[in-house]
């Protein structure tokens, strides 16, 4: 008998470790897409150009000398993942682990199905993953959910029950459906199988780079913390540093604030445009991010910076992303704290930075609203259509790196 190794992970390993992520990846690889990794010379140049003093006016960095980082981005495109988001990884993993549970099939687990509460990508991901194994999925959604999200969940045969909009109503409705169906609860992020599944995006990213490239860091969005903590597990045995990014609007940066005060912040009430990041960090992700110290730092970004980063991705990378997906890029482009770290630690050689684009589910109507408010050329912050971007190949589009 051989001992488990990266090439041959122990299939029963669900520990919150790199080995656990490797085992998850082996299990879900046939079920998910190997999403591409893209590079973009224009965004590298933009990120490697100091912001102007006037750009910093009106921010917390007004009057500071702008940082001079050198950055090379490696974008892991989970907007191309099944259901349009990395959430498929955790959902498929959770379903596969459920099917492996001793006695589950015999005890009628398949018929009882799974249940969750979500109005977003997790609802669709769990519905799809359950459907692929012919397992019913019960989804509790607030009755105020947008019709498009309800329709998308129904497309994957998710069985929707509406709750009131409050967390209490959601919890009581979930409990009610669970008591009726005896379905297994699969939460959106606060669960080891979900976290290990989420960590597989970074595992793939590290394996997709050219041999001469070693990532100095990976930055991911942080909502409930599943993606950030999973990424941290993946990198825990590597030299790659892990960073999180959050919107600051109405205190959505609960993880960042929690890390500063060494206290999990359990409640967040925000309507940030990064709608996948409105939830507070869960306890299990927090134990990885904070208690085990596997995340170096978390940075906040403004709503305006999220819009600017989105516009740049649309105009330069030519791919469709949702607002939550670009907060890591926004931090790398606009957060002077993070940019200062890269300048100090990367020096003239700079950093290779992995950036996980978490999803691409944004309605075209919402998109028009999001980007239309900005007006032409807001992406560069300097006028119309890219005048703010230095360099010659301004509209050079992304290049496949794998």
Q: Interface with a copy of itself by CB under 8 A: which residues? A: 33-36, 79-84, 124, 128, 131-132, 147-148, 151-152, 155-157, 311, 314-315, 318-321, 360-361, 363-365, 367-368, 371-372, 376-377, 383-387, 389, 392-400, 402
Of 351, 367, 205, nearest in space to 275 by CA: 367
Give the E-state strand segments of 154-305 in sequence order: 159-163, 184-185, 217-221, 241-247, 297-301
Of the pair 61, 75, the CB lying nearest a copy of itself is at: 75
Distance CA 142, CA 148 (A): 13
Q: What 3-state class would DSSP assign to 135?
A: coil
What's the min distance (Å) between Cβ of 85 and a copy of itself?
9
Cα–Cα distance for residue pair 123/38, rounded to 1 Å: 27
- d(CA 162, CA 150) in angstroms, rounded, equals 10
Q: Which residues contact 60 (CB under 8 A, 6 or more apart)?
A: none
> Quick check: 94 and 194 in contact, CB under 8 A?
yes
Contact 91, 81 (CB under 8 A): no
d(CA 144, CA 162): 9
Question: Which among 155, 105, 163, 114 has a CA at the least distance from the CA of 136?
Answer: 114
Known active-site residue 119: yes
Which C-beta is closer to a copy of itself: that of 18 or that of 82?
82
Measured distance CA(7)–CA(4) in Å, rounded: 8
CB 325 within 8 A of CB 51: no
For residues 123 and 149, the answer to whether their CB atoms sit within 8 Å is: yes
Given a contact cutoff of 8 angstroms between Cβ atoms, the answer to whether 152 and 363 are in contact is: no
Rounded to the nearest whole angstrom, what is the least distance from the CB of residue 326 to a copy of itself in the complex?
A: 14
Structure tokens at 326: 């670009």
CA distances 282 to 201, 217, 238, 351, Å, are 20, 23, 25, 30
Shortest distance in whole angstroms from residue 361 CB to a copy of itself: 7
Nearer to a copy of itself among residue 253 and residue 315 (C-beta): 315
Minimum gap (Å) between residue 401 Cβ and a copy of itself: 10
**Size of the chain in residues:** 402
Q: Choosing from 76, 82, 87, 307, which is the catalytic residue?
A: 87
C-alpha–C-alpha distance, residues 40 and 243, integer Å:
21
Q: Which is nearer to a copy of itself, 229 or 361 (CB)?
A: 361
Q: 8 by DSSP, 3-state: which?
A: strand
Q: 29 or 250: whose CB is closer to a copy of itself?
A: 29
What does the alpha-carbon distance between residue 5 and residue 101 come to, in Å, rounded to a whole number?
23
Smallest distance from a copy of itself to CB 309, Å? 13
- Please say if 87 is a catalytic residue: yes
Nearer to a copy of itself, 209 or 397 (CB): 397
Smallest distance from a copy of itself to CB 178, Å: 25
Least gap, CB of 344 to a copy of itself (angstroms): 32
Residue with Cβ nearer a copy of itself (8 or 155): 155
- Among the listed residues 48, 82, 118, 119, the single catalytic one is 119
Residues taking part in catalysis: 87, 119
């Amino acid at each position: 008998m051989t001992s488990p190794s990266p090439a041959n992970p122990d299939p029963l390993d669900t520990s919150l470790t790199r080995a656990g992520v490797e085992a998850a990846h082996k299990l879900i690889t046939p079920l998910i897409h190997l999403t591409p990794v893209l590079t973009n010379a224009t965004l590298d140049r933009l990120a490697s150009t100091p912001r102007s003093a006037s750009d910093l006016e009106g921010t917390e960095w007004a009057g500071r000398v702008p940082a001079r980082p050198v950055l090379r981005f490696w974008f892991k495109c989970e907007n191309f993942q099944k259901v349009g988001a990395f959430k498929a990884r955790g959902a498929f993993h959770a379903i596969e682990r459920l099917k492996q549970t001793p006695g589950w099939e015999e005890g009628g687990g398949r018929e009882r199905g799974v249940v969750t509460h979500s109005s977003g990508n997790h609802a669709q991901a769990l519905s799809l993953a359950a459907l692929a194994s012919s397992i019913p999925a019960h989804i509790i959604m607030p009755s105020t959910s947008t019709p498009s999200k309800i329709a998308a969940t129904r497309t994957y045969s998710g069985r929707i029950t509406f709750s009131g909009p409050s967390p209490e109503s959601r919890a009581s409705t979930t409990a009610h459906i669970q008591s009726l169906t005896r379905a297994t609860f699969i939460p959106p992020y606060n669960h080891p199988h979900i976290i290990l599944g989420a960590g597989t995006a970074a595992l793939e990213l590290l394996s997709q780079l050219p041999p001469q490239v070693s990532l100095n860091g990976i930055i991911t969005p942080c909502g409930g913390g599943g993606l950030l903590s999973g990424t941290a597990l993946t990198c825990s045995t590597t030299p790659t540093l892990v960073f999180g990014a959050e919107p600051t609007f109405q205190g959505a940066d609960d993880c960042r604030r929690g890390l500063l005060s060494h206290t999990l912040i359990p409640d967040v009430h925000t309507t940030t445009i990064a709608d996948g990041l409105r939830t507070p960090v869960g306890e299990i992700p927090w134990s990885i991010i904070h208690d085990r110290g596997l995340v170096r730092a978390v940075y906040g970004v403004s709503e305006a910076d999220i819009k600017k980063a989105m516009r740049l991705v649309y105009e330069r990378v030519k791919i469709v992303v949702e607002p939550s997906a670009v907060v890591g890029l926004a931090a790398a482009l606009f957060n002077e704290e993070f940019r200062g770290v890269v300048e100090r630690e990367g020096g003239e050689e700079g950093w290779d930075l992995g950036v996980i684009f978490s999803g691409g589910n944004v309605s075209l109507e919402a998109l028009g609203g999001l980007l239309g408010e900005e007006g032409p050329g807001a992406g560069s912050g300097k006028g119309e259509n890219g005048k703010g971007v230095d360099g010659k190949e301004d509209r050079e589009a992304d290049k496949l790196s794998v």
